[in-house]
Every structure is written in structure tokens, then in C-alpha cells.
Amino acid sequence: MDTYQGELQAKGLKVGIILSRFNQFISDRLLEGALDALNKLGAEDKDISIYKVPGSFEVPMLAKKLAKTKKMDGILCLGVLIRGDTPHFDFLSAEVTKGLAQVSIEEELPVSFGILTVETIEQGIERAGSKAGNKGYDAAFALVETLNLVKNAGLE
């Protein structure tokens, strides 16, 4: 039986990070966590590109454009959607999630989902570096592991 898994080694990997600026006081903390993780895994600054978009709705389109350039080994998407008093949150979270899954499948490129979908600002803060850890950090680890799995299993 063959078993494959990815290593936690980012040296030489080209990573594109797409950061939603909406709710920036939280999304910036996700970015800090992601960069910390990539640094710990051996990524070099020259191999990381950060693209800032106005909000989460713009993330899938930019992910598609980046994927088509074939310049990135993987894409890390970061942002935060906070439920409000209207159904806007439900529409956005569903479309952003579907859009990023579609990009990953169609372009056959690992796309890591580091976009928080939370009920309150407090939940967002908790998931961006306090009690619940930093989901940007976790998403970066997931991306690196997936990239290396694809490579190690000969699925490139």
C-alpha cells in the first residue's frame, strides 16, 4: 500500500497571498499569522507576493487571474466576513467559498481558504490570533502541506 502526504517545507515554493482589506483590523492579523507560518516553514520573502483586494467578493476573481499566470505554486486567500443584520453575509460567504473551490478545481492549483466566516467581531478576533489560534497561520500550513503532497505523489 502506498501512502502519500505533504511535508511542511516551503523553501522554493511560490505563494500568492490574496488579502481582503475589509475588516482590515482582523485580516491584517491573519496575514501576520500566514507570513509567520511561511517563514517558519522556510519560505523566502522573494517567493511570496501579496495582493490586496477591497473585500472578500473580489478574492475569487483575482485567484483565477493569478492561477492562470502559472507563476504561483499555490494561492492563500485571507479575509473575514462578519454576519450582520441582512442576508448579505450568507450570499457572500457562499459565493466566495464556491468561487475559490472552482478556481482550485478548474486550474488544478492548491488554493487555501483562510477566509473567516464569523457571527461576531469577537469571534473574528479570536480566530485571528487569540484563543482559537490564528487561522491565517493554519491556512498557510495547509497550503504548504497540500503543495508538497501534490509534488510527492507525482500529481503535478
91 carries an active-site annotation:
no
Query: Regarding beta strands 15-20 and 128-130, do their DSSP bridges make them parallel or antiparallel, or are they unpaired?
Result: unpaired
pLDDT of residue 8: 97
Domain boundaries, the chain: 15-150
The tens digit of pLDDT for each residue in 8-57 reads 999 999 999 999 999 999 999 999 999 999 999 999 999 999 999 999 99
Single out the catalytic residue among 11, 68, 88, 98. 88
7 with 145: CB under 8 angstroms? Answer: yes
pLDDT of 132 strictly over 90: no
Q: How confident is the model at residue 131 (pLDDT cuts 50, 70, 90)?
A: confident
Query: How does DSSP classify residue 133?
Result: E
Considering only CA atoms, give the Rg of the chain. 15
Note the CATH architecture for domain 15-150.
3-Layer(aba) Sandwich (3.40)
What span, in angstroms and rounded, lies between the C-alpha atoms of 81 and 76? 16
